[in-house]
Amino acid sequence: MKNQLGSRPPARLAAAVVAIALALVAGCTGPPPRQFSPMPPQGQQEKPGYTTILGPVSGRGSKTFTISARPGIAVWLGCIGQGTVGMTRPVAVGAICHSGNGFAGGLTQPTHYRHGQKLTVRIVGPATDRWEFRIDGAAWTG
């Protein structure tokens, strides 16, 4: 004897349960996270011939990185949140956090760095704010 219930109602019930669960999850996730605007292109503040030596790098809180010294260093720093984020080395730059649409920049042409010397890059900020930075550098000549 054939089953009157068949196999379709349980399949429809399962599909309905999945659809309801997806709708609830989608409703609870909130707005999508804010994204950074594109960083300024190379050559925006520095002389021609600079290339990216670190980044773009994103993160939260305070972190330390290492780069090789260059005769010219340009940095861009932006953040999303409520506080401020700063780069303390090798170029001092501070950014006030908002929506991630703006970047602060800094440029230095140090005379005391040696070819091959390692430099510490220090980003300081609260764990609640997201930051993003890029470091460009000039090539050594001679």
Q: Which band of pLDDT confidence, cut at 50, 70 and 90, is reported for residue 108?
A: confident
pLDDT at 93: 92
Residues of the chain with pLDDT > 70, as a percent, come to 73
Q: Look up residue 10 and give its two tokens.
A: 């349980």
CATH topology of domain 51-137: Jelly Rolls (2.60.120)
- In this structure, the strands spanning 130-137 and 51-60 are antiparallel
pLDDT at 101: 76
Nearest Cα neighbor of 113 from 63, 67, 56 is: 67
* Chain centroid offset of residue 35 CA: 9
What integer is the mean pLDDT of 111-136? 93
| pTM of the model as a whole | 0.74
For the segment 64-74, what is each residue's pLDDT rounded down to a tens digit? 999 999 999 99
